[in-house]
Amino acid sequence: MTDVVTTGSGEPSDWEDLSPSEAAEKYGLKQMGVRPPLVDYVRSLWARRSFIAVLARARSESENQGTYLGQLWNVLNPVMNATVYVLIFGILLNTQRGMDNVVGFIVVGTFMYRFFSDSVTVSAKSIPKNMSLVRSLHFPRAVLPVSSVLSELATLAPAMGVMAGFVWVSDRFMAHTDGTPSWRWLLIIPATALLYVFSTGAGLVLARWGAGSPDILNTLPFVLRLGMYASGVIFSIDHYVQSEILSAIMSYQPVAVYLNLSRQAMLVETSYPLDGTYWILGAAWALAAFVIGFLHFWRGEARYGRD
């Protein structure tokens, strides 16, 4: 007697005469571990945008589960981080050259750099951390690093309210202004959007590297610590770096550009006037990083979960 299978419509179908590839094609089965064409990959990723949002929100909400203060740590962590740097570098080491408001300068720098460093770190870990999901389900793997950076953006949103409070108070007492928020504060939105796009691109690159070589995850904290000092998070590059060439390299590298844009938006600093050059450069860095990062990650799509 010939074995038969039942199709989704409930009609019996004889498949014994078909080769495995013909049977797979007939029943719509897709081969695992194959990199799809770029257009199909982008379309598949866009179709899962709701899943990306849900995954990002779930990750953000689960971040501090098990603690008494819960989501409040999303605000307390950057506040404590900024306070430590203000006490050590702003007061004890007196790195105030070139600043009207050292507290606002350091607070904006630490809040925005923390978003970047946390985004690329969770992206780099996104494939190894979800290996069971990668090996059991078929979906575009870019979902994981993209949702990781989105969760960090959700965490940053409430912290930015605290950052604005720091700037408002410190402007009154250190820069001796009336502290009234101006329309320039709205520029923090496009500045953060550009940093988010850049962080997503950088995160996609590191996600592929982290999936192929776990050693990257051990060296990443040291690279990010070096990046913090090279980006002028806690001191003014123009006033502390003597070499003009080195100063230009440090000032126009992407992370320093986004810190500059954030300070242009939030601070009444004579050292940070509105400068269109930085906005054009910020957009260029973000576009280049995202395109390169996405293509780099897509090219490794067939390898994730095999190592």
In-domain check, residue 246: yes
Tell me the whole-structure pTM to 2 decimals. 0.85
Distance of CA 7 to the CA centre of its chain: 44
pLDDT for the residue 82: 81
Retrieve residue 218's tokens. 């051990």
Q: Is residue 15 assigned to a domain?
A: no
Q: Are 271 and 98 in contact (CB under 8 A)?
A: yes
Asked whether residue 1 is domain-assigned, the answer is no
Confidence of residue 33 (pLDDT cuts 50, 70, 90): low
Cα dihedral: 126, 233, 171, 184 (round 10):
-60
Beta bridge partners of 5: 13
| In a domain? residue 306 | no
Beta carbons of 80 and 250 less than 8 angstroms apart:
no
The stretch 238-256 carries a mean pLDDT of 89
- The answer to whether residue 281 is domain-embedded is yes
Nearest to 99 by CA among 200, 171, 32, 180: 171
Instruction: Give mean pLDDT, residues 284-302.
Output: 95
Q: Are 187 and 164 spatial neighbours (Cβ–Cβ below 8 Å)?
A: no
| Residue 7: pLDDT band with limits 50, 70, 90 | very low
Q: Please check whether residue 20 lies inside any domain of the structure.
A: no
203-233: pLDDT as tens digits: 999 999 999 888 888 999 999 999 998 998 8
pLDDT band at 28 (very low <50, low <70, confident <90, very high): low
d(CA 135, CA 69): 35
Which candidate, 253, 217, 216, 219, places its Cα nearest to that of 233?
Answer: 253
Provide the number of structural domains found in the chain: 1
What is the rounded distance in angstroms from the CA atom of residue 125 to the CA atom of residue 121? 7
Q: How far apart are CA 222 and CA 217, in angstroms?
A: 10
CB 214, CB 208: distance < 8 Å:
no
Vertex 131: Cα angle to 125 and 132 (nearest 5): 145
Count the Cβ atoms, other than its own, within 10 Å of residue 203.
28
Q: How confident is the model at residue 83 (pLDDT cuts 50, 70, 90)?
A: confident
In a domain, 166, yes or no: yes
Confidence label for 249 from pLDDT (cuts 50, 70 and 90): very high
Residue 25 to residue 29: CA distance in whole angstroms: 6
Contact between 293 and 200 (Cβ < 8 Å)? yes
Reported as a single tens digit per residue, the pLDDT across 148-166 is 999 999 988 888 888 888 8
Instruction: Kindly state whether residue 305 falls inside one of the protein's structural domains.
Output: no
Look up residue 141 and give its amino acid: R
DSSP H helical ranges for the chain? 20-26, 38-47, 49-62, 73-85, 102-129, 131-136, 143-173, 188-212, 215-230, 237-240, 244-252, 254-266, 276-299
Domain with 203 in it: 35-300
Is residue 58 very low, low, confident or very high in pLDDT (cuts 50, 70, 90)? confident
Rank 271-275, 289-293, 299-303 by mean pLDDT and report only the highest.
Answer: 289-293
